Structure 1
Amino acid sequence: MDEVNVVVAHSERATLRVGDVFLKVDADQARIDVEVEAMALAPVPTPEVLWRKPPVLAIAALRGTTLGRLGEPSTASPTAWSAAGAAIRKVHDAPLPPWPGRAGRSRDELTAELDGECEWLVTNGVLPADLVTRNRRIAEAALRPWTPAFTHGDLQIAHVFVDGDEITGIIDWSEAGQGDALYDLATFTLGQEERLGDVIAGYGTDVDVEVVRAWWSLRSLLAVRWLAEHGFDPTAPGCEVDVLKSRM
């Protein structure tokens, strides 16, 4: 029998790899439903669904390796990053899915969540007040009207697979839906600021870099508590707290 590798695991969901098969266990069946439907609609390569038996979804592994991991320098070429930008643009230009997504929260919802997290970070001494205040000010630029697009919703670089300079597929679509395209671009380049130019070269025009940078701050501020409470370390080199510090 192949070795069982734990890809990611926390109280909400877990992903295991056994040979060429990924087994996703999710307590929320709605997320699995979204993932399967989004993969069917996405105009880019996605994993083959092998079988479903709630709460487990079995999908086939993609060819190649991930583009990188948050907190680590990516060894992928500029051409590969540009190819990823082009693939992301295909998703954003596709017909809208008929449901809202994580990247589609309203301005009022985001503002309330952001203010609550900032207060928690300062009150509990997790981060210095000046660091939080500075990034909260930067994040304001992301809280603006936007045209809905088909968004992945959790487009980390570890969710994009590459073989040489070819993008072979995108995984983990459980947060997909209608949303702000620049949220995807910001998530994808979080902690990889030097790669943003390559991504935009493939993605094309209509990218407001200041809004992408605002999303870096906003996403990082929102993530710190969740990561800490689910067994991850937002203070690891190159991760969310370092992203916030780089804005100072």
Structure 2
Amino acid sequence: MDEVEVVVAHSERATLRVGDVFLKVDADQARVDVEVEAMDLAPVPTPQVLWRKPPVLAIAAVPGTALGRLGGPANGSSAAWAAVGAAVRELHEAPLPPWPGRRRRSPDEWTAELDRECALLVANEILPADLVARNRRIAEAAIGPSTPAFIHGDLQIAHVFVDGDEVTGVIDWSEAGRGEALFDLATLTLGHEEHLDDLLAGYGTDVDLDVIRAWWSLRSLLGVRWLVEHGFDAFAPGCEVDVLRSRM
């Protein structure tokens, strides 16, 4: 009998693996609705939905190997990263999904959330004030009017699978919707900026690098407290706090 592997578990959701089947347990059925519909609409390889019985969604494992993980080594050749860039571009050029997406906010909403989070990071002594202030200034370049795209919304390096130079699957679509395209590119290269040039070679369009760097700071500032409170180590080498420190 296959063993049950706990892939991730926190107060919002849990994912278990049994052989080649992933069982995602999520009390937020709207989030699961988004994931299922996004996988159906996305013009890139996605996992097969095997069955759904709330609060559980069962999906098949995708072939290939994860591109890497935050805080760990990145896999894949330059050609593989370029292929990922091309796949992400195809997603961003696809028709917009009918729902707005959790990542789609106005500049005022981004600013308010960022200000609130930065204040909490300092007040709770999670991060030093100078580190927060420096990255807060950098993050401003990411906030502004933009044309929405169909984005994955949580395009971590661990969510993209490749086999050789081919993209074989993109997983975890619960944050998908309308949003800022460069947010996806920044998330994918967070902590692995050495692969940014290869990714953009496949993406195939001019990209404002300062905005991507700004998203690295913004995403990290907004994520650190949540990660700490849910038992994840944002201070591990190569993770969010190191990304913030690298901006100093």
Q: Please say whether Structure 1 and Structure 2 have the same fold, judged by a TM-score greater than 0.5.
A: yes
The residue matched to 1:83 in structure 2 has which SS? Answer: helix
- The 1-side partners of 2:88 and 2:75 are apart by 20
State the Cα deviation string for residues 199-233 of structure 1 (Å, max 9, x = none). 00000113111100000000000001000011101
CA contact (8 A) 2:66 2:75 kept: no
Secondary structure of the equivalent of 2:59?
A: strand
Show structure 2 runs of 5+ residues with no match. none
The separation in 2 between residues aligned to 1:195 and 1:113, in whole angstroms, is: 29
Partner of 2:197: 197
- Partner SS for 1:103: coil
Kept in 2, the 8 Å contact 1:97–1:177? The answer is yes
Q: How far, CA to CA, are the matches of 1:101 and 1:196 in structure 2?
A: 25
Moved more, 137-146 or 70-79: 70-79
Aligned residue for 1:164?
164
Q: Which aligned runs of 4 or more in structure 1 are off by greater than 3 angstroms? A: none
Report deviation, 1:75: 2.7
Structure 1 stretch displaced more, 47-56 or 205-214: 205-214
How far off its partner does 1:125 sit?
1.5
Q: Output one character per residue of 1:18-46: Cα deviation in whole Å (capped at 9) or x when no partner.
A: 00101000010001100000000000010
Where do 1:27-38 residues align within 5 Å? 27-38=27-38
2:195 alignment partner AA: R
Match of 2:79 in 1: 79
What pairs with 1:9-88 in structure 2 (closer than 5 Å)? 9-88=9-88
After TM superposition, give the deviation of residue 149 of structure 1 in Å. 0.3
Q: CA deviation at 1:147?
A: 0.4
TM-score (structure 2 length as normaliser): 0.99
Distance 2:157 2:146 in 1: 23
Q: The residue matched to 2:96 in structure 1 has which SS?
A: coil
Identity %: 79
The answer on 1:102 being equivalent to 2:102 is: yes
Alignment size in residue pairs: 248
User: How many angstroms does 1:102 deviate by?
Assistant: 2.5
Aligned residues of 1:154 and 1:173 also touching (Cα < 8 A): yes
CA drift of 1:105 comes to 1.6
Unaligned runs of 5+ in 1: none
TM-score, structure 1 as length reference: 0.99
User: Root-mean-square deviation (CA), in Å?
Assistant: 0.7
